[in-house]
Structure 1
Amino acid sequence: MIRAISKNALALGVVAVLCVAILSLVHIQTEPRIEQQRQASKIAILSEVLPSVEANQALLQDCIQVTDQALLGRSSPQALYRWRKDGQLAAYLIETTAPDGYSGNIDLIVAVTPEGTILGTRILNHQETPGLGDKIEARRSPWIFSFNDKTVTDNNASKWAVRKDGGDFDQFTGATITPRAVINAVRKATLFIQQHPELATQPANCPKQ
């Protein structure tokens, strides 16, 4: 009986080793493809938020990490990409978070000029209510395009609100909290850019894209 148990244990051990070896081999073979898909997805998002730019590997590499919980919504670092045209800084593409969405965090990316003009915005991740709060997605509604060409100045803070609150932005029927959160996050991200001119010259320090 002891011999039988030993044989079974040995057989299970061999099977376990083979399974680990197979999984490791599959991981090694698929990792480059997964990484390529991840980079392609990131480039696609950057191209959407700034359509006039051909997003490529160079844009991914010109990236720095920034942290400001008050203005960017997280205590952890966020990615900021720098687009340069003819050697001159033309726009920042900054990831930010609205921590006060109806169903939790709303992650987004904002393209903004160094002077504070918004060029585009897209939602990266959210858990808002389908059919209501998900109208912040470009595929669900054109609402997210209402940020294009808007500016943030010391004198127009009141305009950065939904119309129900006296601002310039439409709200969603039955879902006012969601647009309020996104509007506030976009404005704060733009303020962050305006308050930190040194971002243009900081060395790239993002993890490998």
Structure 2
Amino acid sequence: MIRAISKNAIALATVAALCVAVLSLVNQQTAPRINEQRLAAKLAILSEVLPNVDVGQALLQDCLQVTDPVLLGRTTAQTLYRWRQDGELSAYIIETTAPDGYSGNIDLIVALTPDGTVLGSRVLAHKETPGLGDKIEARRSSWIFSFSGKVVTANNADKWAVRKDGGDFDQFTGATITPRAVVNAVRNAVLFVQRHPELATQTANCPPAGAEIR
């Protein structure tokens, strides 16, 4: 009886070891391809929010890990990229999160000039209601483009809100919470850049180029 149990245990251990070895081999073979896909996806989204710019890997190397739970929506670090043209800082591209979406976090990426003027914005991930809250996606509606060209000033800060709250941005029929959360998140990204001029000169501390945006 004991001998039979021992044989079964050895057999199971052998199968487990083989499975681990196979999985390790598959991971080694697929990891480079996965990293290439992550890199391509990251460059694609950066190209969307930074129009008319030839986005390349150099941009991914000039970035910072920044943390501001109030303005960037997370207690963990977000990534801020710096785009320079002819050696001069021309734009920031920053990850940010709206923590108050209808169904939870809404992750975004926003491109801004150094003074905080929005160049472009896109939603990276969300769990909002299909057919209602998902209109924040560029493929669902043009609403997310309404931030481009806008900046937060002392004179217009109260207009960075949905129309229902007295602001300049449309809400969706039957879904006010979602656009309100995104408006707040984009506004806060602008404020973060405006309040931190030192971002232009800090030493880059980027994650590996193949790492995921989120």
Query: What is the TM-score normalised by the length of structure 1?
Result: 0.96
Gap runs ≥5 in structure 2: 210-214
> Aligned residue pairs: how many?
209
Instruction: Show the 5 A alignment for 1:145-160.
Output: 145-160=145-160
Instruction: Show the 5 A alignment for 1:119-198.
Output: 119-198=119-198
Q: C-alpha separation between the residues in 1 aligned to 2:84 and 2:58? A: 10
Corresponding residue number in structure 1 for 2:13 = 13
Deviation at 1:6, TM superposition (A): 2.8
Tell me which amino acid in the other structure corresponds to 1:96: T
Secondary structure, aligned partner of 2:151: coil
Corresponding residue number in structure 1 for 2:101 = 101
Deviation at 1:4, TM superposition (A): 3.1
Tell me which amino acid in the other structure corresponds to 1:187: R
Corresponding residue number in structure 2 for 1:202 = 202
CA-to-aligned-CA distance 1:128-151 (integer Å, 9 cap, x gap): 111000000000000000011111
CA-to-aligned-CA distance 1:92-141 (integer Å, 9 cap, x gap): 00000111111111110110001121000000111111100000000000
Percent of pairs with identical residues: 77
Tell me which amino acid in the other structure corresponds to 2:66: V
Alpha-carbon RMSD = 1.1
Tell me which amino acid in the other structure corresponds to 1:207: P
Deviation at 1:152, TM superposition (A): 1.1
Deviation at 1:159, TM superposition (A): 1.4
Tell me which amino acid in the other structure corresponds to 2:53: V
Tell me which amino acid in the other structure corresponds to 1:20: V
Q: Which has the higher contact order (CA 8 A, sep 6+)?
A: 2
Q: C-alpha separation between the residues in 1 aligned to 2:52 and 2:107? A: 23
Query: What is the TM-score normalised by the length of structure 2?
Result: 0.94
Q: C-alpha separation between the residues in 2 aligned to 1:146 and 1:71? A: 20
Secondary structure, aligned partner of 2:70: helix
Runs of 4+ in 1 over 6 A off after TM superposition: none
Higher mean alpha-carbon deviation, 151-160 vs 119-128, is at 151-160
Tell me which amino acid in the other structure corresponds to 2:84: R
Q: C-alpha separation between the residues in 1 aligned to 2:187 and 2:49? A: 16
